[in-house]
């Protein structure tokens, strides 16, 4: 590879690649007005492909899950649950309500709710639109490590360090089994 060409002409090389960056990317938003480049009309995508996205957290990520339609990603870290746009990588919602590390997250099948489990021994069910807690499920005596919704969204299930699996009514918050 000819590194001399890169050293002497790095801005020209950067600009020639810039024309191919997706139209709705953060790079285009920040720099397009300041860089003189040819306008490309056909063939330029609106956003990066999913493999090229980086969704940056402020802390260690403990759990992630896709929505059923693949349009969103939910992730859990410290005491926060994040909902991300899977196409743009932008944060759609920041769900705050846990007081300890969020160890497991999942979307309901229709994507309207999120369930999260944490080291504080509780499970929260969130409305993914209003960002409000719909139910606080208490019954585990140790950290919750795994959560999921049933296919119809009427029940949630959680697994814990207390060696139990609890099935919850997702509306009433009561343990069913």
List the CATH number of the domain containing 93.
2.130.10.10
Please report whether residue 147 resides in a domain.
yes
Shared domain check, 71 and 13: no
Last residue of a domain, one of 11, 29, 49: 49
Please report whether residue 175 resides in a domain.
no
pLDDT score at 48: 58
Please report whether residue 55 resides in a domain.
no
For 96-119, write each residue's pLDDT tens digit: 999 999 999 999 999 999 999 999
The count of structural domains within the chain is: 2
Shared domain check, 86 and 29: no
The token pair at 14 is 């950067």
Q: Given a cut of 70, is residue 153 above it in pLDDT?
A: yes
Shared domain check, 88 and 1: no
pTM over 0.85: no
Q: Given a cut of 50, is residue 174 above it in pLDDT?
A: yes
Shared domain check, 156 and 118: yes
Q: Tell me if residue 93 falls in helix, strand or coil.
A: strand
Q: Which domain holds residue 96?
A: 60-169
For 69-102, write each residue's pLDDT tens digit: 999 999 999 889 999 998 888 899 999 999 999 9
Query: What are the helix (H) ranges across 9-165?
Result: 10-18, 26-31
In Å, how far from its chain's centre is CA 119? 19
Q: Given a cut of 70, is residue 13 above it in pLDDT?
A: no
In Å, how far from its chain's centre is CA 174? 28
Spell 135-167 as b/e; 16+ CB within 10 A means b: bebebbeebbbebbbeeebebbbbbbeeeeebe
What is the band of 58 on the pLDDT scale with cuts at 50, 70, 90?
Answer: confident
Q: What share of the chain is helix, strand, coil (3-state, %, to 5)?
A: 15, 35, 45
Mean pLDDT of 45-68: 77
The answer to whether the beta carbons of residues 81 and 46 sit under 8 Å apart is no
Lowest-pLDDT choice from 50-54, 59-63, 126-130, 154-158:
50-54
Shared domain check, 124 and 165: yes
Residue 58's CB: how many other CB atoms inside 10 A? 8
Farthest-apart Cα atoms in the chain, separation: 69
Shared domain check, 73 and 34: no
């Amino acid at each position: 590879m000819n590194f001399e060409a890169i050293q002497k002409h790095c801005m020209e090389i950067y600009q020639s690649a810039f024309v191919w960056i997706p139209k709705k990317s953060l790079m285009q938003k920040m720099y397009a007005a300041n860089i003189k480049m040819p306008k490309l009309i056909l063939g330029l995508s609106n956003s990066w492909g999913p493999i090229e996205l980086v969704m940056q957290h402020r802390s260690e990520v403990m759990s992630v899950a896709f929505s059923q339609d693949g349009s969103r990603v939910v992730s859990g870290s410290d005491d926060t649950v994040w909902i991300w746009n899977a196409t743009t990588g932008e944060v759609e919602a920041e769900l705050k309500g846990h007081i300890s590390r969020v160890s497991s997250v999942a979307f309901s099948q229709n994507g309207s709710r999120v369930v999260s489990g944490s080291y504080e021994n509780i499970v929260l069910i969130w409305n993914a639109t209003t960002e409000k807690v719909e139910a606080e499920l208490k019954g585990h005596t140790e950290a919750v490590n795994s959560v999921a919704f049933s296919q119809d969204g009427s029940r949630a299930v959680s697994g814990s360090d207390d060696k139990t699996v609890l099935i919850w009514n997702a509306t009433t918050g009561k343990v069913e089994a």
